[in-house]
């Protein structure tokens, strides 16, 4: 199929988040594919990461739909850049996360353009830093999303072709602890042990985990000290939180601040930085109505799932915009050198998106 050749072209141009030239080269390809469909585009130029792109169609009366994708992948140059395929699967960086998803959206938009000769009220935002946490693009996405009635995100579909109705919120935090160095043999009592302070804080932090509520706190990295014969003058911890609702978010933030401000080892000074990266995406009445309208128009029920991972759907949801995710192809092995996507799922997802876009054009969704 032609779109697999197009996917191959994108996959074989490295678009690691920090490879600005490669991400922008991918962006140029998307421009060549969407301009013939009547889209205009705006470039959000960036110096150190790829440029973000917003493609806009003519606007008429009716509700407006925003599509979202990202151009970056997680693989640095010369680590994983090969595309291949067999009868069942396509393989390569981004085939499911999420160059494959972008191709699904573009192919469905082509179907609409060829059938109706126009595309209206459907726009497409492609960002360049999603795999790095969307630290830059989240401000663009938040502002843009407010202009739309609803949104679809083209991350990978579920194993049974589920769409995503909820994602956990996530935050990354850093704790810097200052102590005082001293010779561990000669002047032990003169030291202030930053490592010991970190150990107390770690134990208190992980107690905040509540798996029954889907809440986790993981201290993923600890650094500190000089050597075995020196009382540690400094320590640093990096930890992540994930949560399923706003009340758990508030509980975590409150308790984290309390733990970090508590001095367990006299003389240590602790500083907290970081914060919520992507807030929780929770099911809402508005989202349910959006899904109901889709199902009514396409004449079938969609399978649904909730995921622990985050995406830019979290950012859209935080702006109060009804959003559904998982409209890309099904795949697995993402973020590894075994990433692959199921060929048959492309056809299914393209057909689904084409129907939805037709519903938007006919003011039925």
Average pLDDT, the chain: 97
Identify the DSSP state of 98. Answer: T
**Cα-only R_g, the chain:** 23
The owner of tokens 């107390």 is 200
Which H or E element spans position 261? helix 246-261
State both tokens at 173.
């935090």
Does this model's pTM top 0.85? My answer is yes
For domain 2-167+281-361, is the CATH number 3.40.630.10?
yes
Identify the DSSP state of 73. Answer: B
State both tokens at 279.
């807030």
pLDDT digits (tens, 9 = 90+) for 230-246: 999 999 999 999 999 99
- CATH 3.40.630.10 range(s) for the chain read 2-167+281-361
Instruction: List the end-to-end C-alpha distance of the chain, in Å, as a whole number.
Output: 30
Which H or E element spans position 226? none
- CATH 3.30.70.360 range(s) for the chain read 169-278
Q: State the number of CA atoms in the 13 A half-sphere of 232 facing the CB.
A: 21
Spatial distance between the Cα atoms of 336 and 104, rounded to a whole number of angstroms: 22
The pair phi, psi for residue 113, each rounded to 5°, is -60, -45
pLDDT digits (tens, 9 = 90+) for 233-290: 999 999 999 999 999 999 999 999 999 999 999 999 999 999 999 999 999 999 999 9
pLDDT digits (tens, 9 = 90+) for 198-218: 999 999 999 999 999 999 999
> For 169-278, CATH number?
3.30.70.360
- Whether residue 1 is predicted with pLDDT greater than 80 in this model: the reply is no
CB 200 within 8 A of CB 136: no
pLDDT of residue 365: 94
């Amino acid at each position: 199929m032609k779109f697999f050749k197009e996917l191959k072209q994108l996959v074989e141009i490295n678009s690691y988040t920090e490879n600005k030239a490669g991400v922008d080269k991918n962006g140029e390809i998307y421009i060549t594919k969407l301009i013939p469909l009547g889209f205009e585009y705006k470039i959000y130029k960036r110096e150190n990461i790829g440029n973000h792109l917003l493609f806009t169609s003519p606007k008429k009366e009716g509700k407006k739909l925003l599509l979202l994708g990202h151009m970056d992948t997680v693989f640095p140059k010369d680590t994983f850049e090969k595309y291949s395929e067999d009868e069942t699967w396509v393989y390569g960086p981004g085939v499911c996360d999420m160059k494959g998803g972008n191709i699904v959206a573009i192919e469905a938009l082509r179907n609409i353009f060829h059938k109706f000769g126009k595309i209206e009220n459907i726009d497409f935002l492609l960002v360049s830093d999603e795999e790095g946490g969307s630290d830059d693009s989240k401000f663009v996405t938040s502002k843009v999303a407010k202009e739309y009635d609803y949104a679809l995100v083209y991350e990978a579909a579920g194993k049974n072709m589920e769409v995503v109705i909820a994602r956990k919120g996530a935050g990354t935090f850093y704790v810097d602890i200052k102590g005082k160095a001293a010779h561990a043999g000669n002047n032990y009592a003169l030291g202030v042990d930053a490592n010991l302070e970190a150990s107390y804080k770690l134990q208190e932090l992980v107690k905040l985990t509540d798996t029954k509520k889907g809440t986790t706190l993981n201290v993923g990295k600890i650094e500190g000290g000089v050597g075995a014969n020196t009382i540690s003058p400094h320590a640093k911890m990096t930890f992540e939180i994930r949560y399923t609702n706003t009340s758990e978010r508030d509980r975590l933030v409150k308790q984290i601040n309390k733990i970090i401000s508590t001095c367990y080892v006299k003389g240590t000074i602790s500083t907290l930085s970081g914060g919520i990266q992507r807030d929780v995406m929770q099911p809402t009445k508005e989202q349910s109505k959006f899904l109901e309208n889709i199902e009514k128009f396409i004449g079938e029920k969609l399978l649904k799932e909730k995921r622990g991972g985050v995406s830019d759907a979290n950012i859209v949801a935080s702006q109060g915009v009804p959003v559904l995710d998982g409209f890309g192809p099904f795949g697995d092995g993402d973020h590894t050198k075994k990433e692959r996507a199921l060929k048959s799922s492309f056809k299914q997802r393209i057909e689904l998106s084409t129907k939805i876009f037709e519903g938007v054009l006919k003011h039925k969704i």
